[in-house]
């Protein structure tokens, strides 16, 4: 290999690593609640993806950028990032490249979530439908750390119904999810957490507590550290003044929530 060609190859490798490294950094920042810093990391992931020029890298970076932009509060702008990214890479999606299908489908799901946060039901529905078509090209998996597959699409339908304020529909969608086949424990915890949120919205405190306990069994850190879950536990405590959900207070104690 000629020196110039070798340097070019090494630079491409550095850029590919940068796509994933900045993606990981943005994900961790989002989990810790620092959305502005996550946006910066996601922009750097996208810049590296552009230098690589690979559709899978562009889809991966578009996904985390969509999440970060929406998390800052610019949900419609986040939808735009997802739609443009999906349009750009869609020609590369086919059943012979499951990794590409996975990152493309995960991007569509993140766009659907951003649309629901913007209360754009039509766009959320359209993106979910497109993600469902992509999921039909592959089996449940955790390719490229996306956990994308048919059940993950169903999980997002539950989450998005809840985001749009339809707890009853969310519970209907929950019955369709085969939770044990979700490829990642964190996703199974998200399922049970969303079920708990829907049950809480319907005034079913004891069943909501049971769902949170199921989430804790799957991924304790998700229940004990995520702000949205801690807030839910606090709301359940406020509602359950008579102590009719006896397992709620030990759960709150484990999550470090004052009783």
Dump pLDDT digits (tens) for 71-118: 999 999 999 999 999 999 999 999 999 999 999 999 999 999 999 999
Residue 240 belongs to a domain: no
**Cα–Cα dist 154/200, whole Å:** 20
pLDDT for position 113: 98
Q: pTM of this prediction?
A: 0.93
Whether 210 contacts 246, CB under 8 Å: no
Residue 95 belongs to a domain: yes
Segment 60-76, tens digit of pLDDT: 999 999 999 999 999 99
CA distances in angstroms from 61 to 42, 117, 257, listed in the order given: 7, 20, 35
CATH number at residue 79: 1.25.40.10
Of residues 138 and 183, more confidently modeled: 138
Q: What is the mean pLDDT of residues 2-6?
A: 62
Whether 150 contacts 122, CB under 8 Å: no
**Cα–Cα dist 116/122, whole Å:** 9
Closest CA to 80 of 120, 23, 28: 120
Map the chain to HEC letters: CCHHHHHHHHHHHHHHHHHHHHHHHHHHHHHCCCHHHHHHHHHHHHHHHHHHCCHHHHHHHHHHHHHHHHHHCCHHHHHHHHHHHHHHHHHHCCCCCHHHHHHHHHHHHHHHHHHHHCCCHHHHHHHHHHHHHHHCCCCCCCHHHCCCCHHHHHHHHHHHHHHCCCHHHHHHHHCCCCHHHCCCHHHHHHHHHHHHHHHHHCCCHHHHHHHHHHHHHHCHHHHHHCHHHHHHHHHHHHHCCCCCCCCHHHHHHHCCCCC
**139-143, 167-171, 209-213: range with lowest mean pLDDT:** 139-143
Q: Which domain holds residue 78?
A: 3-149
Whether 103 contacts 59, CB under 8 Å: yes
Number of independent structural domains in the chain: 1
Residue 105 belongs to a domain: yes
| pLDDT, mean over the chain | 94
pLDDT for position 242: 87
CA distances in angstroms from 251 to 64, 212, 259, listed in the order given: 31, 9, 10
Residue 244 belongs to a domain: no
pLDDT for position 3: 56
For the record, the structure tokens of 149 come out as 């597959």
Residue 250 belongs to a domain: no
pLDDT for position 177: 96
Whether 232 contacts 197, CB under 8 Å: yes
Residue 217 belongs to a domain: no
Residue 225 belongs to a domain: no
Residue 61 belongs to a domain: yes
Q: What is the mean pLDDT of residues 202-228?
A: 94
pLDDT for position 169: 97
At 175, the pLDDT band (50, 70, 90 cuts) reads very high
pLDDT for position 165: 96
């Amino acid at each position: 290999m000629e020196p110039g060609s070798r340097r070019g190859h090494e630079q491409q490798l550095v850029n590919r690593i940068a796509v994933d490294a900045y993606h990981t950094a943005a994900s961790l920042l989002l989990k810790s609640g620092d959305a502005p810093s996550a946006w910066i990391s996601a922009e750097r992931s996208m810049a590296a993806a552009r230098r690589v020029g690979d559709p899978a890298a562009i889809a991966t970076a578009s996904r985390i950028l969509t999440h970060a932009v929406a998390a800052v509060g610019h949900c419609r702008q986040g939808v735009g990032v997802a739609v443009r990214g999906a349009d750009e890479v869609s020609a590369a999606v086919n059943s012979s490249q499951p990794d590409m299908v996975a990152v493309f489908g995960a991007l569509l799901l993140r766009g659907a979530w951003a649309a629901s946060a913007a209360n754009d039901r039509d766009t959320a529905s359209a993106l979910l439908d497109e993600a469902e078509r992509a999921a039909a090209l592959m089996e449940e998996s955790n390719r490229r750390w996306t956990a994308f597959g048919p059940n993950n699409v169903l999980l997002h339908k539950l989450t998005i119904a809840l985001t749009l304020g339809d707890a009853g529909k969310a519970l209907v969608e929950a019955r369709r999810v085969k939770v044990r086949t979700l490829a990642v424990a964190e996703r199974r915890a998200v399922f049970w957490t969303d079920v708990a949120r829907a049950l809480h919205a319907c005034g079913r405190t004891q069943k909501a507590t049971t769902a949170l306990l199921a989430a804790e069994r799957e991924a304790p850190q998700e229940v004990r550290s995520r702000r949205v879950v801690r807030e839910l536990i606090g709301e359940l405590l406020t509602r359950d003044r008579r102590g009719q959900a006896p397992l709620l207070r030990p759960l709150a104690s484990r999550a470090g929530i004052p009783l």
